[in-house]
Amino acid sequence: MIGAAAEDVTRRKYLQSGFELERANYRVPGLGEIDLIMRAGQKLYFIECKSGQTSADAAALLSNHQRDRMHQTALHFLEATGRDMNCDMRFDAAFVDRQGSVSVIPGALN
The tens digit of pLDDT for each residue in 84-108 reads 989 999 999 998 988 888 989 898 8
Measured distance between the N- and C-terminal CA atoms of the chain, rounded to whole angstroms: 26
Measuring CA to CA, how many Å separate 54 from each of 34, 98, 99, 100, 107?
22, 7, 9, 10, 20
According to the model, what pLDDT value does residue 2 have?
64
Positive or negative torsion for Cα 98, 102, 108, 110? positive
- Pairwise CA distance, residues 15 & 49, whole Å: 15
Task: Give the residue among 51, 62, 60 at the shortest CA–CA distance from 3.
Answer: 51
Q: Enter the pTM of the model.
A: 0.91
Strands (E) across 1-110 are located at 20-28, 32-40, 43-51, 89-96, 102-105
Q: Amino acid letter at 107?
A: G
**pLDDT for residue 1 is more than 60:** no
